[in-house]
Amino acid sequence: MPPQEPEAPSGGVLESPSAPRSGPEPTIYPIDLEEQIDPDAVKVMRRLVKQGYEAYLVGGGVRDLLVGSTPKDFDVATNARPDDVRRLFRNSRIIGRRFRLVHVLFGGGKVIETATFRRAPQQDDSDSDDLLIRNDNVFGEAHQDAARRDFTINALFYDLEHHVVLDWVGGMPDIERRTVHTIGDPSVRFREDPVRILRAIKFSARLDFGISPEVYDAMVECRATLARAAKPRLFDELLKLLRCGAAHRAFWLLWEIGLLDVLLPELSTFLADQPDHEDTLWRLLDEIDRMTRERGAPLDEVVLVAVLLAEPLKEACQGARDRVEAAYRFLENIVDRLNMPRRIAEPVRRVIAILPRLEGGRAGRFQRTSLYPAALEIATLYARARGEELADIEPPLGEPAGAPSEGFAPAKRRRRRRKPRPEPA
């Protein structure tokens, strides 16, 4: 869609709903997205504008609508401060310590996240090699908020009042080219926040976008900086790659760029040692993607992590007298490196250790445990990856054969009936 020149037209397209917009003018693309926007997000923006504030739909919601996908959430950006937003919406709460934003709450647990415009923090020139952002807590204007975002496709603002997309960073051309590109120098942006490297892979995989050559080269150049990122964020981004419905493409890119060497060297070494015709992991990831699309929701976290690490884990347990202990030793470095929660690590150890018995139809007492549904799903993924069926595996106790296992609630214990005590003589 051709852009609209900033100087024209008359009629207020370039005017803020409340006050003249300062700073550089955006390129304007007339397009009507209102019918596709969540009605509650529309209510939030309309009320803010009515009260004299700027308010736009921003980020992934705009991007997904433009590429024909269904957004998972609709975020609003405004020049209203958090206390102002809280005052306008009784059904809201202020969250966050490092940076305060407002959750406007609607029925069914729906949340419209409303954030005040921010600008990029001033960097300390005393250490030019250390660009890591440690404070991102400064209010700004709309154009500054767009410029501080990571990728051009995520920095588009939608003006509901005038039905136009505002583009300060060249995001619309990248949407049309289906390309992931950073705002500014990719090497600088990745050193500021190394997790952006994983986000680039996520968007490329999920949206089926290419990665610009400059960004690709910077990802390779900056891959070692991932070791400096916060561990919980790294693990969270890996989970997002497994959940996104394009895990095969995402982890292939991780391996090709050399990021697996930093995040999961155990898996990277295992893949490097495999013969060319061995593709079990990639077929497993295909099955995860297929099941994610079929269900319209991601698989359980224990299942996802167990499947990702199953092959090298099985190799580590092979021939061990205590398979659970062997799995424990293998996973310990990964748990420390990525801050993997114990609630995930412990079940993964046990499930992988029992998997050979399960595939052989010898579940035994494990069938009574709360982990059996997860183990059954992993075994099913393996069977489908091999083009087989799991006719010999028993369903969880209390379910008829072939019934799907819903959730991973703890198994109920059966009460023993007490024998009546003999009457005293």
Active-site positions read 73, 75, 150
Q: Which of 47, 48, 50, 71 is nearest to 59 (CA)?
A: 71
Residue 114 has phi, psi (to 5 degrees) of -125, 115
Q: CA angle 404-312-393, nearest 5°?
A: 25
CB 367 within 8 A of CB 328: no
Report the SS3 class of residue 36.
Answer: helix
Q: Which of 119, 10, 115, 2 is nearest to 55 (CA)?
A: 115
Element (H, E) at 354: helix 342-359
Longest dimension (CA), the chain: 106
Element (H, E) at 413: none
Count of C-beta atoms within a 10 Å radius of residue 225: 20
Angle between helices 231-243 and 195-207 (to 10 degrees): 10
What single letter denotes the amino acid at residue 45? M
The per-residue DSSP string of 65-86 comes to HHTTPPPS--EEEESS-HHHHH
Question: How many residues are present in the chain?
Answer: 425
**Separation of alpha carbons 373 and 201, rounded Å:** 31
**Separation of alpha carbons 306 and 376, rounded Å:** 12
Whether residue 9 has a cis bond before it, omega within 30° of 0: yes
**Separation of alpha carbons 122 and 143, rounded Å:** 16
Q: Which of 60, 24, 43 is nearest to 105 (CA)?
A: 43
